[in-house]
Amino acid sequence: MNKAFKYNRLSKDDAALLLVDHQAGLISLVQDFSPNEFKNNVLALTACGKYFNLPTILTTSFEDGPNGPLVPEIKAMHPTAPYIARPGNINAWDNEDFVNAVRKTGRKQLIIAGVVTEVCVAFPALSAIEEGYEVFVVTDAPALSTR
């Protein structure tokens, strides 16, 4: 029997911010905004996480390849945040270090943003939901679909 869905409001006391694959090479794929507008939107979300003192987890995929490095301003804004460079996991949730960092926050509400919505965001969001987390996806700023 499936548990009935119950909407819970986002709480700064139970939320963590997951920034997935905000990398220089992937940003070049974004067509919804100019690269500078997109980067500013990402940095605004990152600043909100910092303002509300949300545990923040940074992760990248294939950063030595075409995806490129993490946007340096994000790392600068969260210098002590766990930073997981995934060598080959497309779904961040398939990386044990990433999942352990999420669990370590003790938070059950996850705010997820990533460059490519249908990959960077969708896969870990679905995996987290399956494990009982509440997921809030940022769709109007940094989590954009490529065309």
Give the residue numbers marked as catalytic. 120
String of DSSP letters for the chain: -PPPP------TTTEEEEEE--BHHHHTT--SS-HHHHHHHHHHHHHHHHHTT--EEEEEESTTTTT-PBPHHHHHHSTTS-EEEESS-SSGGG-HHHHHHHHHH--SEEEEEESBIIIIIHHHHHHHHHTT-EEEE--SSS-B---
